[in-house]
């Protein structure tokens, strides 16, 4: 992402290719910037880029590359495909699954804002409701990290377990 501002990932269109594309998407999320375009091209399952060009020609390949879906479209379409968005439970499960992905997007990017707005519309939330939900999740993650840190500091080296006092009571953790 440091060398080029337009990147097109190319994958087989089968299940393995889509899983590989999803892993690539996850790896790229924290690195995204507003001046970078990432796209996901899915070739027919019996082709790699070389065999596709040999069979159909370089011009057809270039045309196919131009129509490859953007990272945001691929991410939102995949999430929607995995959940029944006609039901509250499906939308809630979709938000649950999307939350860690959305939280990986750099906060200062307009792309994050655009993806969050589109996702909120998709799961029938207002952008403000989704933002509040993400902020609460980020706060919970920060508190959990703080608790882990405090537990490391408060547990003696020779004890197998220690009690960690929290606002909601005590919690027994393995040290």
Residue pLDDT, tens place only, 39-70: 999 998 788 888 889 999 999 999 999 999 99
pLDDT surpasses 60 at 7: yes
Q: How many CA atoms lie within 13 A of 124 on its CB side?
A: 10
Residue pLDDT, tens place only, 108-153: 999 999 999 999 999 999 999 999 999 888 888 777 777 777 766 6
> Out of 28-42, 71-85, 160-174, which region has the weakest mean confidence (pLDDT)?
160-174
Of all residues in the chain, the percent with pLDDT exceeding 70 is 84
CB atoms within 10 A of CB 125: 17
Q: Identify the pLDDT of residue 147.
A: 78
Q: Identify the pLDDT of residue 40.
A: 96
Reported in sequence order, the residue ranges of 49-118 that DSSP labels E, i.e. its strands, are: none
Residues 144-163, mean pLDDT to the nearest whole number: 63
**Would you say 60 and 47 are in contact if contact means Cβ atoms under 8 Å apart?**
no
Q: Which has the higher per-residue pLDDT, 39 or 172? A: 39
Backbone angles phi, psi at 57, to 5 degrees: 100, 160
Residue pLDDT, tens place only, 65-98: 999 999 999 999 999 999 999 999 999 999 999 9
Q: Which of 156, 41, 35, 169 has its CA nearest to residue 106?
A: 35
DSSP 57: -
**Would you say 40 and 9 are in contact if contact means Cβ atoms under 8 Å apart?**
yes
């Amino acid at each position: 992402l440091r060398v080029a501002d337009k990147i097109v990932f190319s994958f087989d269109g089968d299940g393995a290719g889509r899983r590989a594309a999803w892993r690539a998407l996850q790896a790229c999320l924290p690195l995204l910037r507003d001046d970078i375009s990432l796209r996901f091209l899915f070739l027919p399952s019996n082709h790699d880029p070389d065999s596709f060009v040999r069979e159909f020609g370089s011009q057809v390949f270039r045309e196919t590359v131009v129509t490859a879906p953007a990272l945001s479209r691929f991410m939102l379409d995949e999430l929607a495909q995995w959940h029944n968005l006609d039901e509250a439970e499906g939308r809630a499960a979709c938000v649950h699954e999307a939350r860690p992905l959305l939280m990986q997007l750099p906060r200062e990017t307009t792309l994050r804002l655009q993806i969050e707005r589109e996702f909120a519309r998709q799961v029938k939330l207002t952008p403000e409701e989704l933002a509040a939900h993400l902020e609460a999740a980020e706060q919970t993650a920060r508190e959990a990290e703080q608790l882990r840190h405090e537990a490391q500091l408060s547990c003696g080296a020779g004890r197998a377990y220690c009690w960690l006092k929290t606002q909601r009571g005590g919690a027994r953790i393995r040290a």
